[in-house]
Amino acid sequence: MSFKRRGLYAAFAGVFLLAVFVRPLPAAQPLAETFTLNNGMQVVVIPDHRAPVVTHMVWYRVGSADEPQGKAGIAHFLEHLMFKGTTKYPPGAFNRIIRQNGGEDNAFTSKDYTAYFQRIAKERLGLVMDLEADRMQNLVLKDENVLPELKVVEEERRERIDNDPSSLLSEQIDAMLYLAHPYRKPVIGWMPEVNRLTRDDAIAFYKAHYTPANAILVVAGDVTPDEVRKLAEEHYGKLANTFDVTARMRTEEPEPIAPRRVTLTDARAASPVVQRAYLSVSYATAAKGEAEALDVLAELLGGGATSRLYRKLVVEKRLASYAGAWYSGDGLNSGIFGVYGSPVPGGAVEPVEAEIDAILEDIKANGITEDELARTKATLIADTVYARDNQGTLARAFGSALTTGMTVADVLAWPDRIQAVTLEDVKAAAAKTFDDRRSVTGVLLPAAGAPAGGGEPTDPTPSNSTQQ
Amino acid sequence: MRPLRPFFAALAIVAIHVLPAQAIEIKEVKSKGGITAWLVEDHTNPLIAMQFSFSGGAVNDAAGKEGTANFITAMMDEGAGDLDSAAFQAKRDELAMKMSFDASFDRFQGSFQTLANRRDASFALLKLALAKPHFAQEPLDRVRDQLLVGARRKEEEPDTISSRAWMAKAFADHPYARETDGTVKSIATITAEDLKAMHKQLFSRKGLKVAVVGDIDEATLARLLDETFGDLPDTDPPKAAPMFHVDGKPMTEVIDRDIPQSIITFGTDGMLRADPDFIPAYVASFVLGGGGFGSRLTEEVREKRGLTYGVSIGLYSFDHAGLVFGQLGTRNEKAGEALGVVKDTMRKFAEEGPTAAELAETKTYLTGSYALRFDSNSKIARQLLAIQEDNLGIDYINRRNDMIDAVTLDQAKVQARRISEPDKLIVTVVGKPEGIKSDGQ
């Protein structure tokens, strides 16, 4: 029996992973339309008339990778503070108005974006636009609201990271994978820096990044593009930009030259796990077809019980209890390809790691089969059809793509581009990606003397995002 | 609570008459073989979602074999009929069919999705899994290892440790005190024979409830119901758990773990879903600690004092017991203070009940947001199954918001006293909490 705390945390537990598993949509019918307001704010509309509700999201092209030196966590802290009142509405009013109108709302921050959303009856779309447009420009922060919220964020960090050894290991891996690029920092920030964040830090960050031309509006649900255009012009179109939006400049990551390794021994770890992360390309940085090939590669290597890693490590050789792979291709500046395995009870990580290496080497040398390629493509494309069942999933897919260097057309064409992946593309992507020098290997070990056993990583994909 | 400012007056308490029923027509489909399902047809996307459940679950695990029903959930795609494990999984992937299972205390639930153009083949594969699972030794040993490591991991998760300790204290020898997933010890003893025996008990047409939503019509569903479930036996479902009321004696247990944040679980006896006062109690519980922002607990513990990232309390109903159950995480140094604030907030709430404004606001939220539970096939199917399981009636969706709206302030105050009992709390804490001690220390 396990209960989850409802509301703030549990209700949105799945949200941040979706950003990683962007599965855009088939182009069979126009699923989404896009246009831009006079002030440069882009709008995406995804009609879905099955229920009289809408999902309204405003995404900002700013995340933890855009933070000033020494201010780790300010992007996420500001996201919390955006609920603390404006010149028009006092602290607490935002949530209360949404609640009084039968809506749900929350927000989340990743390394590349910050997003705010409401789910509400369609008649209330104008109301939520009014509130969201207001807090884009009129935020008012007072220490009496800021100081308790900083404590809340510290608790959030303790709850999600410090109380959980596998989250701590992921944080260490990121910090080693990137020597210079700000992706090395956790979204929520390192505790010593979080402790010292102030009201002035938040206001400075807000003034530097929150403006219509740096924002994207995504509306999914029981509306037409014309209805959204009219309301968006009324509420967002009248906002003037407060600064010129320029390209995001981030420290460039040097070419990696040496494999790195980190071992975390923690009494709270129930069982050992080995995780490997390869610094890789993303959709925004890849050559044509390369990121798509990595999505195919991740699915066939480790997407489920019929994947290569699972069949070999878990079923045939019985070395591991769990094994898999993932590809996070939605970074603005780079991507990560990950593999992981956890030994069977009583087993050690070394043979698991050795077998993973052997499987990766085999793919580099011999590629994959025509049959594997066809099956994997079919799975990925079927997932895009399933994604159409949920307007929230669709809205997140578009928002995430548009804040990480992709376009609406890219998202719509994704199934076709997956379909175009060849055997050679996959082999070449494997050869380029599975290079030791680009890797960090992280091992989680229970404390000496603790009972040995395999363990399922809580969340083998990077928890790349954190929410209010 | 912050007083309502004038601008709220304009926005506040506007009833939103967005009943999901406007968009949802539920048909009761009866197959020739006598199987009933609730159907919502929706041809927007070429997808079909089905949720179904059998009566019986973890409460029917034999003593010492806790986790048997859960073990079955993990074996459902590991070989059935003429397909071994690998062949079954390959077929499932080829069809892009999705199926998963879950065993709660009182029910064994299945969740199934298929693309419309693979409909019949996907239902046929599901039928194989339901009627003719192998429980063969090879996958069984492998799955057992996975369950064991899962169990070990849960034994280290602070919120799981805290919740489990709470359930053990509250339910003593009752089956609801058991681990639905089993323990390291019990999982090790479960055999193929145990799984087969449990499968035979649980998978009966008499205990079956089905909800289907998506791109399928009545006649096709009627046929597929018989084809999929028709071969299952028509035997009585296994015996339900006895009725249980949680003792009103307060108890506190601290489980020492070296973690920076203490997880505090707190609760008392609650009520069954069938309780005539469930709706007013649900509304009252929401004012106290539901739904995130705006509840009294969130205001007092999080917003005013920054003591937690999340705190909530709510009603949980099993078939034969009900709980008022809450949880929060806070830094060890503040554990005693946070629990004190929770108790003070509960005491004040019991004494005063919700204000008229809180009640009105909560009603508009609960009625207005009901439609949000019906915006995808999978979500609608989950709602329809839950309504069947709770015996609320096929017209419940139409009646539900009226029942919420009908709750009076007096009713809510009575229920506030009933659900908010700080002096009866059973409290379990994991961590190194300052200011909280186990009983007798």
Judging by DSSP bridges, how do beta strands A114-121 and B27-30 pair with one another? unpaired
**pLDDT > 70? residue A41:** yes
| Residue B235 counted as domain residue | no
| Residue B383 counted as domain residue | yes
Cβ contact, residue pair A456, B372, below 8 Å: no
In angstroms, the CA A55 to CA A36 distance is 19
Among A99, A194, A222, most B C-beta atoms within 10 A, so best to mutate, is A99
Q: How many domains does chain B have?
A: 2
Residues 152-211 of B with CB under 8 A from A: 152-160, 163-164, 167, 176, 179-180
B180, B308: one domain:
no
Cβ contact, residue pair A158, B368, below 8 Å: no
Q: What is the CATH classification number for the domain harbouring B386?
A: 3.30.830.10
Q: Which domains does chain A have, with CATH numbers?
A: 18-235 (3.30.830.10), 260-462 (3.30.830.10)
- Residue B252, SS3? strand
Nearest to B292 among A7, A89, A153 (CB): A7
Cβ contact, residue pair A123, B16, below 8 Å: yes
B348, B216: one domain:
no
B181, B78: one domain:
yes
**pLDDT > 80? residue A3:** no
- Residue B317, SS3? strand
**What is the value of pTM for the model shown?**
0.91
Residue A422 carries which side chain, given as an amino acid letter? Answer: T
- Domain range enclosing B421: 251-431
pLDDT at A286: 97
Task: Give B18's contacts in chain A (Cβ within 8 Å).
Answer: 52-53, 102, 121-123
Nearest to A53 among B158, B330, B371 (CB): B371
Question: How many other CB atoms are found less than 10 A from the CB of residue A239?
Answer: 18
Q: How confident is the model at residue A466 (pLDDT cuts 50, 70, 90)?
A: low
In angstroms, the CA A188 to CA A157 distance is 7
pLDDT at B4: 26
Q: In whole numbers, what is the pLDDT of chain B averaged over residues?
A: 93
Q: How confident is the model at residue B199 (pLDDT cuts 50, 70, 90)?
A: very high
| Contact with chain A for residue B93, Cβ under 8 A | yes
Nearest to B260 among A1, A149, A162 (CB): A162
Of the candidates B223, B264, B27, which has an alpha carbon nearest to the alpha carbon of residue B119?
A: B223
**pLDDT > 80? residue B15:** no
**pLDDT > 90? residue A422:** yes
pLDDT at B336: 98
B224, B187: one domain:
yes
B220, B317: one domain:
no
B141, B280: one domain:
no
Question: How many other CB atoms are found less than 10 A from the CB of residue B194?
Answer: 18
Looking at residues B228-234, what average pLDDT do you find? Answer: 96
Among B70, B162, B293, most A C-beta atoms within 10 A, so best to mutate, is B293
Task: Give A164's contacts in chain B (Cβ within 8 Å).
Answer: 157
User: For the purposes of burial, counting CB atoms within 10 Å of the CB of B54, is it exposed (0-12), middle (13-18) or buried (19 or more)?
Assistant: buried
**pLDDT > 50? residue A230:** yes
B108, B40: one domain:
yes
| Contact with chain A for residue B10, Cβ under 8 A | no
In angstroms, the CA A131 to CA A203 distance is 19
| Residue B437 counted as domain residue | no
| Residue B58 counted as domain residue | yes
Interface predicted TM-score (ipTM) of this complex, two decimals: 0.90
Residue B1 carries which side chain, given as an amino acid letter? Answer: M
pLDDT at B293: 73
Residues 72-91 of B with CB under 8 A from A: 77, 85-86, 89-90
| Contact with chain A for residue B96, Cβ under 8 A | yes
Please name every residue paired with A220 in a beta bridge, in sequence order, or none if there are none.
A46, A55
Distance of CA B155 to the CA centre of its chain: 21
Active site residue A233: no
| Residue B242 counted as domain residue | no
In angstroms, the CA B129 to CA B277 distance is 41
**pLDDT > 60? residue A155:** yes
| Residue B163 counted as domain residue | yes
Of the candidates B182, B165, B317, B169, which has an alpha carbon nearest to the alpha carbon of residue B241?
A: B317
Please name every residue paired with A280 in a beta bridge, in sequence order, or none if there are none.
A335
Which residue, B167, B194, B229, sits at the end of a domain? B229
Q: How confident is the model at residue B1 (pLDDT cuts 50, 70, 90)?
A: very low
**pLDDT > 50? residue B2:** no
Question: E-assigned strands of B305-425?
Answer: 311-317, 322-331
Nearest to A454 among B115, B145, B364 (CB): B145
B132, B83: one domain:
yes
Active-site residue among A67, A79, A156, A353? A79
Among B93, B94, B174, B266, most A C-beta atoms within 10 A, so best to mutate, is B93
Encoding tokens for residue B198? Answer: 């449990």
Cβ contact, residue pair A101, B311, below 8 Å: no
**pLDDT > 70? residue A380:** yes
B387, B310: one domain:
yes
Lowest mean pLDDT among A410-414, B6-10, B140-144, B328-332: B6-10
In angstroms, the CA A196 to CA A208 distance is 20
Residues 213-242 of B with CB under 8 A from A: none
Helices marked H in A83-164: 93-100, 125-137, 143-157
Looking at residues A149-156, what average pLDDT do you find? Answer: 95
**pLDDT > 90? residue A450:** no
| Residue B234 counted as domain residue | no
pLDDT at B248: 87
B217, B279: one domain:
no
Encoding tokens for residue B324? Answer: 């008022």
Among A50, A194, A352, A373, most B C-beta atoms within 10 A, so best to mutate, is A50
**pLDDT > 70? residue B19:** no
**pLDDT > 60? residue A291:** yes
Percentage of residues of chain A with pLDDT beyond 70: 89
B417, B308: one domain:
yes
By C-alpha distance, the chain A residue nearest B147 is A321
By C-alpha distance, the chain B residue nearest A323 is B146
CB A445 within 8 A of CB A309: no
Of the candidates A163, A112, A74, which has an alpha carbon nearest to the alpha carbon of residue A464?
A: A112
In angstroms, the CA B29 to CA B218 distance is 6
In angstroms, the CA B170 to CA B250 distance is 10
| Residue B157 counted as domain residue | yes
B417, B352: one domain:
yes
